[in-house]
Structure formats: structure tokens, C-alpha cells
């Protein structure tokens, strides 16, 4: 039987030993090297997954289960404002009887390394730390090297290592991410956040890191993530990762300038309160509370004008929801329900920001009137 393929290099099974399979394997390994180089990791420390959510689950659940089997501390220290992928992985551990604690945050959602250290020192059952490099709604950037150093100090006191994971899905491509320099054990990234294909991500880890796989039935990705690799998506991920290394600084300068322009315009808007820590921010994310304006109504009005915003994490797609991060920070539901998240990218322009700012006064007035029942 003759099988005709448009591109045998990408259509081959990388686990096969024939020529087409070997060519596909070469594509996967080239992408692995590109991703590793982009994040300061070793090539053998890249395990491809279906995205950031799976990478988070493999990191948190996989390492906790492995430590539990080895008799080491396996409890999880995280925060209440982590991405739903991290919170969900924590819930899975709780269901298995594993301890979980949340580190105390300040009103701006900032993670202080000294609070991480205190929490670990107070509870010897905690052996795994998972804190995002940058928050998905606020845009806050955490001091991951200092957090890792805090965990290392407590681990040295105990005579037992503490594993530190960071969800860097939001940070990768916006700020410099360096797995090796940060001294992390585990880190999650995703392709679509750096303009690569959707449906592929990676768990970055030390080459010898022991993880319990989420499921079994194959030997792909050295047994850590079984199932035939998605070669075309992985190839695209590698290309996108290589471009991050070439374009990061130019992208950041462009996006931060747009963010500052947006913030300046929002500051002139009555009842607009920017959330988070503006001094330590990704640069592409602005979460703003528009007082008296339900977020879902603002979202719909902006959508009709061709402007795409969100009311929280994109993982809540298909339904309107108040900002879960602001709710977790104990803001009143009526305030959290008036939050909008603006996300900026390399393809956005000053003209687009100016158009949004020109639309907002009229839309805010209209939505406030509708929400209060007043004619408008």
C-alpha cells in the first residue's frame, strides 16, 4: 500500500525507526533544543506536553506523588491567586490526602520571599512550592530567584530538599525567563503565549528530576509524558521559542510603551482603579476595575466595537465570571465583577490603544447608566 504524505518530515511517527520516523524525531529534538536554549535549560530537561495546564499538573502532582512514594515531604505551598491549572492540581493532591497551604499575600497580590520561608519553616509537611513567575490577571512579576533561595535555606535546615516549581506560562516571551539562573527544579511554559501553535507546551525540569507520570502506556518523552508527540505543533513551538530569544527586548520595549499609554489614558477615566503591582509588572497586562460597570456588560460593548478584553482568566472561557484573583484577594464581589483585563501583544499599535481610550468614556457612561437603571 502506498501512502502519500504532503510532508513526510512532519507526518512521520518520531518513535518509528524507519527514515520517515527518524526525520520526525530530528524535528522534535531540534525543537527541544530551541525551547531549552530560550529558557536557559538543558535539552534533556524539556518534556513536551499538550500545554501549560498539563505541564503544571505533571509538575505538581507528579513530583508530589514521587516524593510521597519516597517518604519525603510532599505537601504543597502555593498561593490563592495561582492560575486555575495550579489550583486544580493542588485540589487533586488534597483529594489524595496531601497537605496544602497558601502563602500570605498583600493587598496587591505580591508574594514576599520571607513569607514563603516562614510558611515552609512552620510546616515540615510542605515539600513542594509552586508559585507563578507572573500572575495571569494582575501581571505581577514575582521574585522567583529569591523565593527559590528561601526554599533552599529551609531545605538545608531540614536536611531534605524542597522542590520549587514556577508556572512561567504568562512570563515567557514577555520578560527574561532563565530556568538555570533561577535555580528552579520545575517550570511550565506554553507555545501559544509566545505566538506558537496552540495545544503544545513543555515542562522544564532538571534532567534527573523524578516525576510520577500522570498516565502510563508508552515510553515517549522518556516515560514522563506518554503518547505520540504532536510533531507539527512541537516544530512550531521550537520556531516560536527561537524567535523569543531574538525579539524579546524589542517586543518588551514596544509593549511596555503601549501599556504606559493605556495606563495614562485610564488614569483620566473617572472611577478607574488599576489593580496589582505596577512597579513589578509583565508590561502586557492591565487589570482595571471600572467602578459601577459590570465586567460582562463592558466586555460585550467593547466586543461590538471589535475590541477583545476579558473579565478574568481565559481558562474560564465560555462564561462570564468576576475576576477570581480579585475575589481571592478578598475584594468585594461587586468590585471584582467590575474588573476588565486588557492584554497587549507585539501586533498591537498606538492607534489601537488610542481607539480603546476614545471608546471607553462613552461606553463606561452607558454601562453605568444601564447598571444603575438610569436612562442612558
DSSP string, 14-34: TT--SHHHHHHHHHHHHHHHH
* 293 in catalytic set: no
Using an 8 Å Cβ cutoff, are 113 and 101 in contact?
no
Domain stops at, among 179, 209, 243: 243
Amino acid 2: pLDDT:
47
160 with 276, same domain?
no
Task: Give per-residue pLDDT as tens, 353-364.
Answer: 999 999 999 999
269 with 206, same domain?
no
Residue 157 is assigned to a structural domain of this protein? yes
Q: Torsion angle of alpha carbons 103, 135, 287, 342, nearest 10°?
A: -170
Report the CATH number at residue 312: 3.90.1150.10
195 with 342, same domain?
no
Distance (Å, rounded) from C-alpha 35 to C-alpha 331? 38
Instruction: Give the total number of structural domains in the chain.
Output: 2
Task: Give per-residue pLDDT as tens, 95-121.
Answer: 999 999 999 999 899 999 999 999 999
Which are the contacts of 131, defined by CB distance < 8 A and separation ≥ 6? 78, 79, 82, 103, 111, 116, 142, 144, 147, 164, 166, 167
Closest to 295 in 3D by CA, of 355, 344, 343, 335: 335
Q: Kindly give the pairing relationship between strand 163-167 and strand 126-130.
A: parallel
Look up the domain containing 255 and give its range: 248-370
Mean pLDDT of 277-284: 91
Annotate 49-101 with three-state secondary structure.
ECCHHHHHHHHHHHHHHHHHHHCCCCEEEECCCCCHHHHHHHHHHHHCCCCEE
How are strands ordered across the β-sheet holding 201-205? Answer: 46-49, 201-205, 186-190, 163-167, 126-130, 75-78, 100-102
Percentage, residues of the chain above pLDDT 70? 94
Q: Answer yes or no: is pLDDT of 294 > 70.
A: yes
253 with 345, same domain?
yes
234 with 187, same domain?
yes
Task: Give per-residue pLDDT as tens, 136-163.
Answer: 999 999 999 999 999 999 999 999 999 9
Distance (Å, rounded) from C-alpha 300 to C-alpha 222? 46
Question: Which of the following is catalytic: 74, 293, 315, 338?
Answer: 315
285 with 163, same domain?
no
Residue 375 is assigned to a structural domain of this protein? no
Report the CATH number at residue 160: 3.40.640.10
Domain stops at, among 187, 212, 243: 243
Residue 30 is assigned to a structural domain of this protein? yes
Distance (Å, rounded) from C-alpha 280 to C-alpha 278? 6
139 with 277, same domain?
no
Grid cell, residue 315, equals 481558562
Amino acid at each position: 500500500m502506498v501512502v502519500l504524505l504532503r510532508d513526510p518530515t512532519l507526518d512521520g511517527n518520531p518513535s518509528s525507526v524507519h527514515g520517515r520516523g527518524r526525520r520526525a524525531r530530528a524535528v522534535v529534538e531540534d525543537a527541544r533544543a530551541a525551547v531549552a536554549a530560550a529558557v536557559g535549560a538543558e535539552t534533556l530537561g524539556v518534556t513536551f506536553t499538550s500545554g501549560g495546564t498539563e505541564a503544571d499538573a505533571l509538575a505538581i502532582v507528579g513530583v508530589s506523588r514521587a516524593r510521597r512514594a519516597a517518604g519525603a515531604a510532599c505537601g504543597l505551598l502555593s498561593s490563592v491567586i495561582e492560575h486555575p491549572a495550579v489550583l486544580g492540581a493542588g485540589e487533586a493532591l488534597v483529594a489524595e490526602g496531601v497537605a496544602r497551604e497558601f502563602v500570605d499575600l498583600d493587598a496587591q497580590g505580591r508574594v514576599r520571599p520571607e513569607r514563603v520561608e516562614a510558611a515552609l519553616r512552620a510546616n515540615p509537611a510542605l515539600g513542594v512550592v509552586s508559585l507563578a513567575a507572573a500572575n495571569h490577571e494582575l501581571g505581577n512579576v514575582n521574585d522567583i530567584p529569591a523565593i527559590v533561595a528561601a526554599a533552599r535555606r529551609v531545605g538545608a535546615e531540614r536536611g531534605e530538599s524542597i522542590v520549587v516549581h514556577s508556572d512561567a506560562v504568562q512570563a515567557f516571551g514577555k520578560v527574561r525567563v532563565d530556568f538555570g539562573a533561577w535555580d528552579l527544579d520545575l517550570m511550565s511554559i506554553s507555545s501559544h503565549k509566545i505566538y506558537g501553535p496552540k495545544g503544545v507546551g513543555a515542562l522544564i525540569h532538571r534532567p534527573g528530576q523524578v516525576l510520577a507520570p500522570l498516565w502510563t502506556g508508552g515510553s515517549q518523552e522518556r516515560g514522563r509524558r506518554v503518547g505520540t508527540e504532536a510533531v507539527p505543533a512541537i516544530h512550531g513551538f521550537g520556531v516560536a521559542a527561537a524567535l523569543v530569544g531574538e525579539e524579546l527586548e524589542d517586543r518588551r520595549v514596544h509593549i511596555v510603551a503601549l501599556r504606559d499609554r493605556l495606563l495614562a489614558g485610564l488614569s483620566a477615566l473617572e472611577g478607574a482603579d488599576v489593580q496589582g503591582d505596577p512597579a513589578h509588572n509583565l508590561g502586557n497586562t492591565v487589570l482595571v476595575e471600572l467602578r459601577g460597570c459590570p465586567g460582562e456588560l463592558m466586555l460585550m460593548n467593547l466586543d461590538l466595537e471589535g475590541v477583545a478584553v476579558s473579565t478574568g482568566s481565559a481558562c474560564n472561557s465560555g462564561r462570564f465570571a468576576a475576576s477570581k484573583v480579585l475575589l481571592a484577594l478578598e475584594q468585594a464581589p461587586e468590585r471584582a465583577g467590575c474588573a476588565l483585563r486588557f492584554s497587549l501583544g507585539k501586533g498591537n499599535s498606538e492607534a489601537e490603544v488610542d481607539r480603546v481610550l476614545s471608546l471607553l468614556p462613552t461606553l463606561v457612561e452607558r454601562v453605568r447608566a444601564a447598571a444603575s437603571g438610569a436612562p442612558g
